[in-house]
Amino acid sequence: MRSSNPVNLRVVAASPRPLSPQAIVLLIVIVASALLVLAGCGDDGGQASPPSSLDASDEDTADAAGDVDANSDTGDNNSTGDAEDDLATGELEPGAPEADGGAPAEEDGPAPAQDLPRQIPPEFEGAVTLMPVGDSITMGRSDRPSWRYPFQNRTRDLGCRFDMVGTEDQWADGIPTSGYNEYDHHHQSVGGRTTQQSAQAVIPVAPAFQPDLVLIHTGTNDITKDVPRETTLSELRRMLRALVEARPDVQIYLAEIIPAGPARADATAEYNTQVREIAEDFAAQGTQIRTVDMFTGWDHVTMTVKEENIHPNQAGAEFIANRWIEALQADGLC
């Protein structure tokens, strides 16, 4: 029951008590800890994210595999073939890896010819390298096998060791027959070549072979085909320069050629005079060069194939071989 005389109650607020220094420090520590906890909840604190199932290295591998597959599917992965085509056409730009000694386009493929070390058979170790240059008179054929064979017969008898070099090793009508197995067939000549064509064949390979000696009989087809004399002489000079640039101490024997048939004997004699003049010019510049007279003493009746009176028969081949050997002996090379 409620009292008839209510009691008046008064709430009296207690006066605040000042904090002690220890309490103040404790309060500061608590507030700071709370702030750190709150900050950690809103940020990862710079910690690394959990690793995914594919790490960076795996991604790179997958991307690379994808690129290879894409090229394989489209047929665009042809960088090696393009480099080989450039090398074959001589269009590889300076600075490309293959041109400046970098990795070749195909590690197992052939290097440029001028960089290939020439493989010397054991029997030619220490032999003097000799490059025969010319046309069909030097190349030969099965029915008239060239002066190169009597040349080798006689030089072997004299104890002279020559290693014939060149990119060719056949006759005009094919592989030398079995009766010639013991001979060195290499040469740098092809039937029908003019001096310009011989120069084009010699110049690219001269740095690779760098022969000790070069025997050149060229000009017959220039005369029979009426090639302008200025062209013939210019191309002869170009070929000689390339040989000297490839090997400055090369010894060059330049033929005053056999008559290009009886009807062109006078034209041949005129050409031979110009050949001598070219040789004198090069000799004056320090080149070891001399001419070898094949013209004087040539007899087309006894020394040529009867049908055309130009190509040497066996007697003519021996005549040419002996003239070369006489020149080599005069220089103490055989």
Q: What is the pLDDT of residues 276-306, one digit of tens each?
A: 999 999 999 999 999 999 999 999 999 999 8
pLDDT in tens, 123-164: 566 789 999 999 999 999 999 999 999 999 999 999 999 999
User: What is the number of other CB atoms lying within 10 angstroms of the CB of residue 52?
Assistant: 9
On whether residue 24 sits in a domain, the answer given is no
Terminal-residue alpha carbon distance, the chain: 155
Ordered DSSP codes for 93-115: PTTSTTTTT---SSTTSPPPGGG
Q: What distance in Å separates the CA atoms of residue 41 and residue 29, rounded to the nearest whole number?
A: 19
Q: Is the pLDDT score of 327 beyond 90?
A: yes
Residue 283 identity (one-letter amino acid)? A
As a whole-number percent, the residues of the chain with pLDDT over 70 amount to 63
pTM of the model: 0.64
Structure tokens at 71: 């090229």
Residue 213 belongs to a domain: yes
The tally of domains found in the chain comes to 1
Q: What distance lies between CA 143 and its chain's CA centroid?
A: 36
Q: Report the distance separating Cα 168 and Cα 159, nearest Å.
A: 25
C-alpha 296, offset from chain centre: 42
Helical (H) or strand (E) element with 195: helix 195-202
Q: Is residue 188 part of a domain?
A: yes
Q: What's the average model confidence in pLDDT over 208-229?
A: 98
In-domain check, residue 77: no
What is the reported pLDDT for 85?
A: 33
Q: Could you list the residue range(s) of the whole structural domain that residue 299 is in?
A: 123-330
Q: What does the alpha-carbon distance between residue 44 and residue 302 come to, in Å, rounded to a whole number?
A: 106
- Are the C-beta atoms of residues 232 and 278 closer than 8 Å to each other? no
Contacts of 300 (CB under 8 A, 6+ apart): 259, 261, 262, 309
Burial of 146 (0-12, 13-18, 19+ CB in 10 A): buried
- Give domain status of residue 23, yes or no: no
> Nearest Cα to 217, choosing from 190, 250, 183?
190
For 9-68, write each residue's pLDDT tens digit: 333 333 444 555 555 655 665 666 666 555 554 444 333 333 333 333 333 333 333 333
Lowest-confidence range among 112-126, 164-178, 198-212, 290-304? 112-126
The chain-wide mean pLDDT, for the chain, equals 75
CATH number at 164 reads: 3.40.50.1110
Average pLDDT over residues 194-200: 98
For residue 234, give the amino acid letter.
Answer: S
Q: What is the DSSP secondary structure assignment for residue 174, as one 8-state letter?
A: B
Specify if 49 maps to a domain.
Answer: no
pLDDT at 31: 62
Q: Domain for residue 35, yes or no?
A: no
Residue 72 in any domain: the answer is no
Tens of pLDDT, residues 311-326:
999 999 999 999 999 9
| Residue 95 scores a pLDDT above 70 | no
pLDDT at position 251, please?
Answer: 98
Q: How far is CA 239 from CA 25, 26, 228, 273, in A?
A: 101, 102, 17, 18
